[in-house]
Amino acid sequence: MNVLPQMHPVTSAVTTHTLPLRPNCRLASPYHYRRHGIYYLRLRVTGSVNRSVSVSLKTTDRRWAMQTSGHLTSSIQAFHMDRPDASWYDLREHLLALVSSTVVTADDGHPLRHWGGLYRNVRFTPSPVFATHGEALNAATEPVIAPMTFDVLSQLYMADRGGEQKPTTLKETTLCHKVISEHLDGLDLRSHSRADLVEFRERLSKGRMPSTVNKLIVKLSAVFAWAVENGHLTRTYDKKLKLTKGLESTRKAFSQAQMTRLMGYANKLPELSWKRWLLTLGAITGARLNEISQLTTSDILTLESGIVAIHINENGEGKSIKNKQSERMVPLIDGAYGFNLATFLRYVESCKVNNPGVLAQIGYRGGGEWANQQAIPKALGSDHKVGLTYHSMRHSLAALMQVKGVPVLHAQALLGHASGTITFDTYGAGVPVDVIEKMLKAVFTQANLE
């Protein structure tokens, strides 16, 4: 909700007569909090838990809330110092009277309320205040455009793009936006500078890992790019804002020698053991652990072209994928790291007979614990290092494709990532499966020959 004419009361100057050592009522420091996005001010008697009052500042904008609170508390201070014998009831009623007469919202009488919702962000500044409190204030004068804070942009962005995100991603984005908004501290982004964003990054960096800071900056840049595209901002200064030092990930990529040893270990496991195929599919597809763990027999498809592929999707009870780009067809390349396609298809057929529909014999959590704590350390032996996990196979395939010169769009389509740059930096729709199959064949053939 936007703050409109903030017609703050005028405070009288502090009197110069001698003040008593103790007033009749002592007030504690003001306390601010938010409820449903709206800022509130709470005043209470020092040492008391029941003599308190909370008033709405009627705004979601932190900067304006603090400014409004400052005017209110200044008025209370002046009133109290003029009347040191005032009771808690007197102080409370004075505060409530100030709020009811000076703090208004768009619904309480915005001068342009009849013009429509487009003008709800237009704010008016009050005329110069009078010399004594209690007198009526002048009408609002020259209009001032409300600041375009990140809070405002976030709400607009989520209203437009929030529906495209999975519930887990939506929750993460919401939390990230909250952190960003707090650290930008009401900055008007229409007039922000590079220095403002550098200071913002420094505030974010206190107590956070560089990778976490960069993740928040990526979220900021996504909103900025959207805001420029939609005319909310004309220019932003977030380019090359991400940190470049201290970004060593705790999750590493396997070397090709390590991948060969890992697949050698997997190929020696029983043909009818899901553990064998859990490792194998992760190695030759680069799919996420959750994507592999929720595959069903109906997700193993033989296309008209003869290509055998896994269909990563969320069709079925309990299945979930990270985002829309995560749904994809990933071809299975016979011979990749020694993978035997015919043997795998026999396993699929046995699952159709013995346990219809189910492909995985152990779930996501159990499969991850086995792979990370037992299989990978055992397969690599003394070559095992901290940070090598199931997810490292995804990084390895991304690195292998980058080395072999695979186009970013093809890597994006294979890994199911929405951003082509993130595909290679961290670890596409519209690319035909047969193109991906030919690309993977060439990549694995070259890898096998090295």
Tens-digit pLDDT profile for residues 220-257: 999 999 999 888 889 999 999 998 876 555 568 999 99
| End-to-end alpha carbon distance in the chain | 63
Query: Which amino acid is it at 146?
Result: A
Joined together, the tokens standing for residue 112 give 């342009």
CATH architecture assignment, domain 256-449: Orthogonal Bundle (1.10)
Distance CA 288, CA 311 (A): 13
Q: What is the pLDDT of residue 2?
A: 43
- Point out which residues pair with 31 in neighbouring strands: 42
Going by CATH, does the domain composed of 150-229 fall within 1.10.150? Answer: yes
Residue 202: closest CA among 176, 215, 183:
183
> CB count, 10 Å around CB of 244?
8
Distance CA 64, CA 32 (A): 13
- Point out which residues pair with 41 in neighbouring strands: 32, 55
Q: What is the pLDDT of residue 71?
A: 83
Domain range annotation of the chain? 31-145, 150-229, 256-449
Q: What is the pLDDT of residue 345?
A: 96
Q: What is the pLDDT of residue 12?
A: 40
Joined together, the tokens standing for residue 101 give 């007469």
Q: What is the pLDDT of residue 194?
A: 94
Question: What is the three-class DSSP state of 122?
Answer: strand
The answer to whether 350 touches 305, Cβ cutoff 8 Å, is no
Joined together, the tokens standing for residue 134 give 């209690």
Give all strands of the β-sheet with 328-331 in edge-to-edge order: 300-302, 308-312, 328-331
Strands 52-56 and 38-44: what pairing? antiparallel
When computed from its CA atoms, the radius of gyration of the chain, rounded to whole angstroms, is: 31
Question: Are domains 150-229 and 256-449 of this chain identical in fold?
Answer: no
> Which residue has tokens 């505060």?
95
Distance CA 331, CA 305 (A): 11
Please list the ranges in the chain whose pLDDT falls under 70.
1-21, 104-146, 246-251, 418-430, 448-450
Which contacts (CB < 8 Å, 24+ apart) does range 127-130 have? Answer: 129/8, 129/9, 129/10, 130/10
